[in-house]
């Protein structure tokens, strides 16, 4: 016995919003490069706590090998450690000298080019790129697993 045509139509209209919601969620995750709940939490933390340069790094507008002067033209750093050939640029949201800052975005410089970039706080770290192997310095004892390029780790 075949179901009535009306029941097929009802089933279609019941399942259509579910399918569209799933498709929208997948598109959202692809667009924002979010592959897990953990990465979603870190994305939200960066959005709330980090200097705006994190978006340039996150979406790949600043990459390894980019000239440091071009990066500083986009966003002047809060603190420059070392010099333009070997050092680091530190970015803090609402930077005030002498204040404690628990969240930062760091870009390491080698030969006048960006070599690695991380954002981090007390409970999370996000790697944007790392061409010089400073992963252990940023993750230290909190690293629960090997970090892949562009990965994120939450220690909560």
Same domain, 45 and 19: no
Range of the domain at 73: 34-154
Same domain, 76 and 98: yes
Q: What is the pLDDT of residues 97-126, one digit of tens each?
A: 888 888 999 999 999 999 999 998 888 888
Question: Residue 56: helix, strand or coil by DSSP?
Answer: helix
Same domain, 16 and 76: no
CA angle 103, 39, 29 (to 5 degrees): 130
User: To the nearest whole percent, how much of the chain has pLDDT over 90?
Assistant: 35
Q: What is the pLDDT of residues 14-38, one digit of tens each?
A: 888 888 888 888 887 777 777 788 8
On the question of pLDDT at 54 being above 80, the answer is: yes
Q: Which residue do the tokens 């410089």 mark?
A: 109
- Model confidence, pTM: 0.74
- What is the spatial distance between Cα 78 and Cα 156, in angstroms, rounded to a whole number? 28
Same domain, 84 and 53: yes
């Amino acid at each position: 016995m075949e179901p009535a045509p009306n029941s097929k139509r009802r089933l279609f209209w019941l399942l259509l919003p579910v399918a569209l919601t799933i498709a929208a969620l997948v598109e959202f995750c692809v667009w924002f490069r979010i592959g897990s709940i953990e990465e979603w939490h870190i994305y939200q933390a960066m959005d709330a706590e980090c200097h705006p340069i994190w978006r340039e790094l996150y979406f790949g507008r600043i990459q390894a090998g980019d000239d440091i002067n071009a990066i500083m033209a986009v966003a002047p750093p809060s603190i420059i450690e070392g010099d333009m050939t070997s050092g680091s640029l530190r970015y803090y949201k609402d930077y005030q000298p002498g204040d404690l800052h628990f969240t930062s975005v760091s870009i390491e410089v080698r030969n006048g080019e960006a070599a690695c970039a991380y954002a981090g706080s007390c409970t999370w770290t996000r790697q944007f790129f790392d061409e010089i192997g400073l992963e252990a310095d940023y993750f230290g004892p909190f690293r629960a697993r090997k970090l892949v390029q562009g990965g994120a780790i939450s220690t909560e």
